């Protein structure tokens, strides 16, 4: 590990194209995939590249290392007891955000032009916001998860970090062979979603959207809070299925063990109710998107905490209350950072129309830079 704890291992692999850092839950042939956990520190090296890594190499990208992460991708702070916590380059006193902490930090520090992370409950958009970079959770199923841990998930998405939307589009074109960047729209119509975000956060995000020149209209999105709860339930059940057999391993961090033990208590009835909520929320998001180019709301409902003020688990989970619902629905979601603050606009687009979402995001980014 380097002193900044951003990388698990530095190496170079591939061509001479954009430099890319890859989260340590994604297989790279000949490298161990530890998923940020000492409990997997003796796992054999991966026999083959994950599909996303093979695509990066085939596209000429230059992979520069594997990045640190929250253990088992099951935490929002990015704090890692075993590997050390990646520094947040732009806001060093604050958490880097999890679980893709090292990937966001690598881009923020200029150590990679692009980074690849995964997002099951906000794990790309959360650290992107904390570290002040752009991050995209693609539509569910849009980018292959072959060779990623967990192997099975109804929520998890592989996606990119970059320093601007153009970088996000470059990354998507590399990792998704169907992605073709769309032309920039002359104007955009954005639906503003009222949320439980702190007033100062919501006001800052809305003010920046207005400054960008976008047309802002209010839209109703019922079920946001219930979808958040459903996402916690579904993720817990799936995490227990993947990592439950390791819960007694003394090398696991206390925070992850506590969450896994809680996850073991999810009942079949709770999971069934969460799935019903998923169906309702998908329809609600689709309806909210009718007549607008994208939805907008803050990525995080509050400022990220300082490293020495982590508080209780419930407070940390609340930080994902506005991002986790879109893992449940499967819609693409893009975090656009506000200059000088660990605050981000979250734009949400139509399912499987990631190209249009990125084009809308580029138009907003252009307006903010003007």
Q: CA-CA distance, 103 to 192, in Å (whole number)?
A: 29
Strand order in the sheet with 157-162: 7-14, 62-67, 19-23, 114-119, 157-162, 134-137, 333-337, 344-348, 294-298, 189-193, 215-219
User: Does residue 73 contact residue 99 with C-beta atoms inside 8 Å?
Assistant: yes
**What integer pLDDT is reported at residue 3 of this predicted model?**
60
Sequential pLDDT tens for the chain (370 residues): 456 999 999 999 999 999 999 999 999 999 999 999 999 999 999 999 999 999 999 999 999 999 999 999 999 999 999 999 999 999 999 999 999 999 999 999 999 999 999 999 999 999 999 999 999 999 999 999 999 999 999 999 999 999 999 999 999 999 999 999 999 999 999 999 999 999 999 999 999 999 999 999 999 999 999 999 999 999 999 999 999 999 999 999 999 999 999 999 999 999 999 999 999 999 999 999 999 999 999 999 999 999 999 977 888 999 999 999 999 999 999 999 999 999 999 999 999 999 999 999 999 999 999 8
What pLDDT sits at residue 313?
81
- Active-site residue identified among 123, 139, 212, 329: 123
99 is a catalytic site residue:
yes
Q: What is the pLDDT of residue 370?
A: 81
The structural domains of the chain, with segments of one domain joined by +, span: 7-369
> Is residue 123 flagged as an active site residue?
yes
Residue pair 141/153 in contact by the 8 Å Cβ criterion: no
Interior/surface letters 293-311, b for 16+ CB within 10 angstroms, e for the rest? bbbbbbbbbbbbbebeeee
What class, spelled out in words, does domain 7-369 have in CATH? alpha beta
CA angle 101, 121, 234 (to 5 degrees): 140
pTM of the model: 0.98
Which H/E stretch holds residue 190?
Answer: strand 189-193
Nearest to 175 by CA among 17, 320, 37: 17
Measure the N-to-C terminal CA separation of the chain; round to a whole number of Å. 40
Beta strand ranges found along 245-351 (DSSP E): 294-298, 333-337, 344-348
- Set 34, 37, 99, 329: catalytic member: 99
Per-residue pLDDT at 1? 46
Residue 195 falls in the annotated catalytic set:
no
Residue with tokens 């955009």: 188
């Amino acid at each position: 590990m380097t002193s900044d704890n951003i990388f698990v291992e530095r190496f170079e692999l591939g061509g001479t194209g954009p430099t890319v850092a890859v989260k340590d839950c994604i297989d790279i042939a000949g490298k161990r995939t530890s998923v940020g956990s000492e409990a997997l520190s003796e796992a054999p090296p991966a026999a083959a590249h994950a599909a996303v890594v093979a695509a990066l190499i085939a596209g000429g990208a230059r992979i520069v290392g594997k990045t640190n992460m929250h253990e088992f991708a099951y935490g929002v702070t990015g704090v890692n007891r075993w590997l050390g916590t990646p520094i947040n380059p732009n806001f060093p006193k604050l958490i880097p955000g999890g679980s893709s902490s090292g990937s966001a930090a690598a881009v923020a520090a200029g150590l990679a032009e692009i980074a690849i992370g995964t997002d099951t409950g906000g794990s790309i958009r959360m650290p992107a916001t904390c570290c002040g970079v752009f991050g995209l959770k693609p539509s569910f199923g849009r980018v292959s998860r072959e060779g990623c841990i967990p192997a099975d998930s109804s929520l998890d998405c592989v996606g990119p970090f970059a320093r601007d939307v153009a970088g996000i589009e470059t990354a998507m074109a590399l990792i998704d062979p169907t992605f073709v960047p769309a032309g920039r729209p002359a104007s955009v119509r954005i639906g503003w979603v009222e949320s439980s975000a702190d007033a100062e956060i919501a006001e800052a995000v809305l003010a920046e959207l207005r400054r960008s020149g976008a047309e802002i209209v209010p839209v109703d999105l019922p079920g946001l809070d219930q979808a958040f709860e459903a996402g916690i339930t579904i993720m817990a059940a799936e995490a227990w299925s993947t990592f439950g057999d390791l819960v007694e391993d003394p090398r696991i961090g206390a925070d992850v063990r506590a969450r896994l033990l809680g996850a073991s208590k999810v009942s079949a009835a709770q999971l069934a109710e969460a799935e019903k909520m998923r169906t309702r929320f998908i329809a609600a998001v689709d309806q909210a998107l009718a007549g607008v180019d994208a939805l907008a709301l803050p990525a995080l409902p509050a400022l990220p905490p300082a490293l020495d003020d982590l508080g209780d688990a419930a407070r940390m989970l609340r930080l994902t209350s506005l991002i986790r619902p879109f893992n449940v629905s499967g819609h693409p979601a893009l975090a656009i950072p506000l200059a000088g603050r660990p605050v981000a606009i979250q734009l949400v687009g139509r399912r499987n129309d990631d190209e249009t979402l990125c084009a809308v995001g580029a138009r907003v980014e252009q307006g903010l830079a003007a």
